[in-house]
Amino acid sequence: MVDIDLPVIAINFKTYPQATGEKAVLIAQSCERIAKEFDVSIVVAPQAPDLYRVSRAVDIPVFAQHMAPGDPGRFTGHVLGEALVESGCSGTLLNHSENRMQLADIEASIRKAEELHLYTIVCTNNPVVSVAAATMNPSAVAVEPPELIGTGISVSQAQPEIISGTVEQIRKVNEKTAILCGAGIGSGDDVESALKLGSQGVLLASAVAKADSPEEVLKDLIRPILK
């Protein structure tokens, strides 16, 4: 399994046209330049059709946005772990609020990812679900209140108790799983607040994926990590 240094900045490209196809490669290369120049941990998660081209273009970890449980065979339309490995992926997001999964499927996907040495970030919408996810021993849990996703209103500023409460409750059941947060993260101040609240990284999307100058945004985002 890839070793992800903490704190980490994970960038979800979603299905934004500004981060699709060759544009996905350009943004990933911007992330790689910042990661190498400042020695920080940055992960990118492009759409499934772009995974191979992006992973061939950069050395930083490339994650899928989703992975279905199951073994290769009769699973038309599913994105299975073996295909992610062949595409050059290091890990995958699971259970994003825009692509939620059944609890049993989350666990099955985590176990399959372990077999394939893939890092897993399970997205959750509140502290209770975060604790449930943590008991499955994923690589990381990323709590993201869905009402703040894409709003530009940072969870670390607007609902800090979500982060601190999630950290406190997860650590009662799991001391090893990394704890990330997301929703509305868009600046270095947001990241700094998240880290002070106990988060070990952030998961964000539009602030970088839709930016006119992704590298300038990234430089601001990593500022608290460099202190």
Active site residue ranges: 96, 144
The answer to whether 62 touches 51, Cβ cutoff 8 Å, is: yes
Phi, psi of 91 (to 5 degrees): -175, -170
Contacts with 95 (C-beta within 8 Å, 6 or more apart), sequence order: 101, 106, 122, 123, 124, 133
Is 69 in a helix, a strand, or coil?
coil
Contacts with 41 (C-beta within 8 Å, 6 or more apart), sequence order: 4, 5, 6, 7, 8, 9, 35, 201
The answer to whether 206 touches 225, Cβ cutoff 8 Å, is: no
Contacts with 33 (C-beta within 8 Å, 6 or more apart), sequence order: 215
The answer to whether 224 touches 42, Cβ cutoff 8 Å, is: no
HSE value, Cβ hemisphere, 13 Å, CA-based, for 185: 34
Complete edge-to-edge strand list for the sheet that includes strand 91-94 = 41-45, 8-12, 201-204, 178-182, 140-143, 119-124, 91-94, 63-64
For 11, other C-beta atoms within 10 Å of its C-beta total: 29
